[in-house]
Amino acid sequence: MDDLQFRRTIYADPQCTDEDIIQAVAADPSKQKFVNDIQQFDEKLLAALKVPVSDDMAQKLILRQALNNHQQNKKKTKIHLALAASVAITAGLIVKFMMFTPSHDSVAEYAFAHTAHEAHYFTNNDTANITLASLNEKMTSFSGNFTDKLGDLIFADYCRFDGIKSLHLVYKGITSPVNVFIIPKNDKFTYTQSFSNNRLNGRTEQYKDADIILVGDKSEPLQKWQENIKATVTWAI
């Protein structure tokens, strides 16, 4: 190894432990001195390179990380909360729409569906013992009143007529029960005066405070019923 190469190698790496460097140093005391010189210089260099580090730097770094982490966690909790809230709101809205939104456009369609759905609860042979008084009690929430009995009343209770609280009356009919729905005024339905399907007929009559829908089978004279209702029902002012 020539001298120049040797010097270059030591300058590049004073701690060099390559075999040929060690041999060269061992063979030549002046090389040993050169290595010592450079190593001494390198110590000074290292001392200069080691600029002072503030004592609390490690603490600061750990603190900074902890704060950062804390903030991220807080953000995460917020996101979770927001997610939970929006899920709850969505669920609420879905329930609301399913429960309270009219799913039928025409009153006819719904009235038939409602009647058909509850048909098996009522037969013409059921005891009809609901008095006029208890009927009128229920009618008060529609600010209506019947002056006389329409017929034998099997059932009278509030029900949801496609999402709208209304009064459902079931009277004894000629062959099967007659359904009367008293529905408060609303703008959800389009009314047709009379309607029918292959089994049932229906008629609607609109009053000042409520609409009354009648559903009965083909043998039932619904128009007669309607006239009777018109004659007996009165509406509070």
Partner 1 sequence: MIKKILGNKNATSQVSSLMATKQTRYEALVKALHADLFRYAYWLCREKQIAEDLVQETFLRAWRALDSLKDEKAAKSWLITILRRENARRFERKRFDMSEYEEATITDTKAMSSEQDIENHWLREKISLLPEEYREPLVLQAIGGFSGEEIAGLLSLNKNTVMTRLFRARNQLKDALEKEPEERGTYNG
Q: Smallest distance, Å, CB 63 to partner 1? A: 10
Measured from the CB atom, is 71 or 140 closer to partner 1? 71
Measured from the CB atom, is 37 or 157 closer to partner 1? 37
Task: Compute the chain's Rg from CA coordinates.
Answer: 47
Residue type at 29 in one-letter notation: P
Q: Which two tokens stand for residue 16?
A: 């060099």
Q: Smallest distance, Å, CB 55 to partner 1? A: 10
Q: Which two tokens stand for residue 126?
A: 């059921």
Identify the burial level of 153 via C-beta atoms within 10 angstroms of its C-beta, where 0-12 means exposed, 13-18 middle and 19 or more buried: buried
Measured from the CB atom, is 41 or 100 closer to partner 1? 41
Measured from the CB atom, is 50 or 224 closer to partner 1? 50
Q: Smallest distance, Å, CB 59 to partner 1? A: 9
C-alpha distances in Å from residue 79, one per residue of 5, 37, 69, 234: 64, 63, 15, 57
**CA-to-CA distance for 80 and 228, rounded, in angstroms?**
61
Q: Smallest distance, Å, CB 89 to partner 1? A: 23
- Footprint of partner 1 on this chain (CB under 8 A)? 8-9, 11-14, 38, 41-42, 44-54, 57-58, 60-62, 64-65, 68-69
